Amino acid sequence: MSAYLIAITILTLIYVLLALGLTLQFGLTGLINFGHVGFFAIGAYTSALLTLNGWPVGVGIVAAAVAAMLPALPIGYISLRLRDDYFAIVTLAFSEVVRIVVTNAREWTSGTQGLPGIARLYASLNGAASEWAVLGTILAVTLLAIWMITRIARSPFGRLIQAIRDNEVAVKALGKDPAWFKIQVLAVGAALAGIAGAFYAHYITYIVPDQFVPLVTFYAWMAITLGGASRISGAVVGSAILMVLLEGSRFVHDFLPMISDSAMASVRIGVVGLLLILCIVWRPQGLTGKRGDA
């Protein structure tokens, strides 16, 4: 049982890292980023390619964060001219551009064949010990990210980005330039997504462009919507609920064998959808949010 639980926890933490970026970008700053998976993909491919070419995994993860941050600069620059919904479309397009480039840059990424045999973290340890070590590392990184975002939220910088969310014109009137702050927020969220991508690549050990579809972005959005977009705990709670729903249905099947697997897939999506609707109707601020939160 334990190895399966560890696997679920590791993937949950990867989603927490993704969701934390959105909490910072949307919950605190009000940027609607529908292209989160693009940064995730850049991180995954950067680290995979570096380690496949002989670099150590640690270098790969750091490089993943840096590489994911780079496109945040031009996208942040675009965001200066675009209002919320247009920015959402541009980011969505960005993530699709990343996927299509990765698909077609066959010399580097082997395109749709994917990259097999990516090095695992702590591969020198045997099975269970290496799983625990991976879990510990991702947990530590996630806690660090939570601590960092908490610090950001409470700092003068954090108050300013929340002011941008609530009234951008007022911020400008006070003589502050929102643009640079938005770019920084995007870059930090992108770096978190890049690190998540690197961990994902080294955990699954095989990546292919099909894994980086917009659905991943929307899973992270579901997580923060369920958990509470403006709360850091919301990203954690929401990701955990999402993973329990997605994986829990496997066990329902073991207890209720008369429900076929194909019916179960529909039930699973249906339950997630129903929960989202109920959440929006009754707790639009999310499970962890206070009444009056966005």
Partner 1 sequence: MTTTSRRQFLQGAAAGAAVLSLPQLTFAQSAGVFRIGALNPITGSGSTFGTGMLKAIQAAADVVNAAGGAAGIKFEVISEDTQTSPQAGVLAAKKLLDVNKVQAVFGTWSSGVSLAVVPLTNDANVILMNTSGAPALSVPPANAKGLSFRFQATNDRFGRAFAEVCVKEGFKRPATMAFNNASGIGNADGFKKAWEGKGGKVVAGVVYEPNQTSYRSELQKVLDANPDVIVTGSYLQDTTIIMREWYQSGIPVKWILPGWAGSPDLVKAVTAPVVEGVISVDSVSNSGAESYKLYDAAYQKAMGKPGSSNVYAAMTWDMVITLALAIQSAGKTDTDSIKAHIRAVANPPGEEVFSYEAGLAALKAGKKINYQGASSALDFDEYGDVTPDFGVSFIEGGAINQKYVVKI
Query: Binders of partner 1 among 151-210, rule CB under 8 A?
Result: 204-208, 210
Number of H helices, E strands in the chain: 13, 0
Least Å distance, CB 256 to partner 1, is 12
* 107 contacts partner 1 (rule: CB under 8 A): no
Nearest Cα to 43, choosing from 54, 57, 33? 57
* 127 contacts partner 1 (rule: CB under 8 A): yes
* Paired residues of 207 in beta bridges: 115
> How far is 55 from 48, CA to CA, in rounded Å?
10
Give SS3 for 115: strand
CA angle at 40 for the pair 117 and 118, rounded to the nearest 5°: 10
Write the Ramachandran bin of 120: left for phi over 0, alpha for psi from -120 to 50, otherwise beta.
beta
Give SS3 for 29: coil
Residue 147 burial (10 A CB sphere; 0-12, 13-18, 19+): exposed
* 288 contacts partner 1 (rule: CB under 8 A): yes
Among 100, 105, 140, 144, binds partner 1 (CB under 8 A): 100
* 261 contacts partner 1 (rule: CB under 8 A): yes
Q: Which residues are within 8 A (CB) of 220 and not within 5 positions of it... i.e. 6 or more apart?
A: 15, 18, 19, 21, 22, 36, 239
The one segment of 28-36, 111-119, 134-142, 169-177 that binds partner 1 by CB under 8 A: 111-119
Over the window 229 to 248, marking each residue x when it contacts partner 1 by CB under 8 A and - when it does not, the resulting string is: --------x---x--x--xx
Over the window 264 to 283, marking each residue x when it contacts partner 1 by CB under 8 A and - when it does not, the resulting string is: xx-----------------x
**Closer CB to partner 1, residue 87 or residue 219?**
219
Among 52, 111, 160, 218, binds partner 1 (CB under 8 A): 111
Binding interface with partner 1 (CB under 8 A): 1-5, 7-8, 11, 100, 103-104, 106, 111-114, 116-117, 120, 127, 204-208, 210-211, 237, 241, 244, 247-248, 250-251, 253-255, 260-262, 264-265, 283, 287-288, 290-291
